């Protein structure tokens, strides 16, 4: 069976940056399992998964526009330290949810000054080409409940 819309695909992967450093990997864990065609993985990888079958191994480079998007300078901002009421020790690398013009967004603290906190609302991998090494470990038809809920149930998927 080939991966197509409304199939459940499982795969092992290693994700590296341009210098070959490992960013993420499924090594030592269960394969990643998702419902194909529903946008649960980055678009560039999902496109390359289509038509693959169990046992296929391949490499794919996903450009930012088909990954986590380009970096947006306007998402890097300074906010008053008192915007973090109740947080005593603010450190670079900490992540928070904030409310912006487009609704709730995740931000990462990049620098802390005496009275200002510098935050970045870009995804940590925005602007980067993603290099995937993939091995497809399984493909099956999604069941009616998975299709109705829009995600995989059972091993490697969602549990209600």
| Domains of the chain as residue ranges with CATH | 7-68+126-149 (3.10.50.40), 73-120 (2.40.10.330)
**Percent of the chain with pLDDT strictly greater than 70:** 94
* Token reading at 54: 């169990």
In the block, tokens 């620098």 appear at 111
Rounded average pLDDT over 65-73: 96
Kindly indicate the confidence band of residue 79, based on its pLDDT and cuts at 50, 70 and 90. very high
Give residue 35's pLDDT. 95
Q: Please, what is the average pLDDT of the chain?
A: 92
Q: What is the pLDDT of residue 78?
A: 94
Provide the whole-model pTM. 0.82
- Region for residue 127 given its phi and psi (left: phi exceeds 0; alpha: psi -120 to 50; beta: otherwise): left
The reported pLDDT for the residue numbered 22 is 97
What does the alpha-carbon distance between residue 84 and residue 67 come to, in Å, rounded to a whole number?
Answer: 30
């Amino acid at each position: 069976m080939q991966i197509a819309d409304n199939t459940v695909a499982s795969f092992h992967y290693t994700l590296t940056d341009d210098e070959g450093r490992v960013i993420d990997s499924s090594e030592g864990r269960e394969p990643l399992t998702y419902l194909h065609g529903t946008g649960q993985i980055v678009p560039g990888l999902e496109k390359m998964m289509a038509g693959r079958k169990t046992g296929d191994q391949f490499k794919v480079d996903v450009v930012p526009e088909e990954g986590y998007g380009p970096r947006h300078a306007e998402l890097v901002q300074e906010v008053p330290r008192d915007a973090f009421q109740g947080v005593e020790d603010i450190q670079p690398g900490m992540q928070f949810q904030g409310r912006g013009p487009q609704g709730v967004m995740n931000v990462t603290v990049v620098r802390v000054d005496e009275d200002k906190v510098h935050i970045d609302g870009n995804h940590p991998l925005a602007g980067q080409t993603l290099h995937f090494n993939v091995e497809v470990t399984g493909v099956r038809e999604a069941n009616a409940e998975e299709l109705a809920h829009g995600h995989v149930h059972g091993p490697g998927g969602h549990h209600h």
